[in-house]
């Protein structure tokens, strides 16, 4: 980030920003619930998935930590009555499956940690791999822990769709923003 800021402070900033962004995206996403809610914990457009993907892509372990903490705080709302350890494990599985799938997809696509090889056409592929891993991992956990009793495939596919849609919306907006910034930077430097 910035060499004048200590690594511990950088980690705190990244964790706070990503956690805050996740919470904000979740609150915004609540406005979609009246028409996009599929089942408890599953919506057909889930913007926080995009925040989590961006946070992990750009912030690494500190981005993942921010999303984990935000998800754990929110899980008490949408899984009311569940024990804290169950919610912590859910938050961990959700975050770790996303993180692992991002690392795997970058490796498969030959993209380094610096992301300099990343192209727009990689985003849907990364998103598909990540949402598949996350959808099946979390819904398997829901059934194994007794938070849900059935419909693994149906719920996992619905979660994949919602995460993919929400993530792709945010990743596309980021890509457009970066493209505009890059174009403006070139225009300024050529004058």
pLDDT digits (tens, 9 = 90+) for 121-169: 898 899 999 999 999 999 999 899 888 778 889 989 999 999 999 988 8
- How far apart CA 96 and CA 71 sit, in angstroms, is 12
Name the residue range of residue 19's domain: 7-190
Supply the pLDDT for residue 182: 80
Global pTM reads 0.86
Residue 1 domain flag: no
Q: What is the pLDDT of residue 70?
A: 98
Q: Is 144 contained in some domain?
A: yes
Question: Is the pLDDT reported for residue 43 higher than 60?
Answer: yes
Nearest to 71 by CA among 83, 56, 89, 58: 89
In a domain, 99, yes or no: yes
Lowest-pLDDT range of 25-39, 68-82, 152-166: 25-39
Write the Ramachandran bin of 137: left for phi over 0, alpha for psi from -120 to 50, otherwise beta: alpha
69 within a domain of the structure (yes/no): yes
Residue 18 lies inside a defined structural domain of this protein = yes
Nearest in space to 158 (alpha carbons), one of 55, 74, 42: 42
Q: Is the pLDDT of residue 1 over 50?
A: no
Where residue 116 sits, what CATH number does that domain have? 1.10.1760
pLDDT given at position 117: 92
- Per-residue pLDDT, averaged over 102-120, amounts to 93
Say if residue 191's pLDDT is above 70: no
Residue 147, φ and ψ in degrees, nearest 5: -75, -25
How many domains, in total, are found in the chain?
Answer: 1
């Amino acid at each position: 980030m910035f060499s004048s800021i200590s690594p511990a402070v950088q980690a705190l900033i990244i964790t706070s920003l990503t956690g805050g962004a996740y919470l904000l995206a979740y609150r915004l996403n609540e406005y979609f619930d009246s028409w996009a809610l599929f089942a408890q914990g599953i919506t057909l457009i889930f913007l926080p998935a995009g925040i989590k993907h961006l946070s992990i892509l750009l912030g690494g372990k500190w981005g993942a930590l921010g999303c984990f903490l935000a998800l754990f705080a929110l899980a008490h709302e949408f899984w009311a009555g569940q024990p804290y350890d169950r919610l912590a494990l859910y938050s961990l599985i959700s975050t770790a499956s996303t993180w692992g799938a991002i690392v795997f997809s970058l490796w498969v696509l030959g993209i380094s940690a610096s992301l300099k090889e990343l192209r727009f056409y990689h985003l849907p592929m990364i998103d598909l791999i990540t949402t598949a891993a996350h959808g099946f991992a979390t819904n398997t956990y829901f059934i194994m822990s007794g938070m849900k009793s059935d419909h693994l495939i149906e719920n996992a596919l619905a979660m994949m769709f919602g995460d993919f849609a929400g993530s792709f919306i945010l990743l596309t907006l980021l890509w457009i923003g970066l493209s505009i910034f890059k174009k403006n930077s070139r225009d300024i430097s050529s004058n």
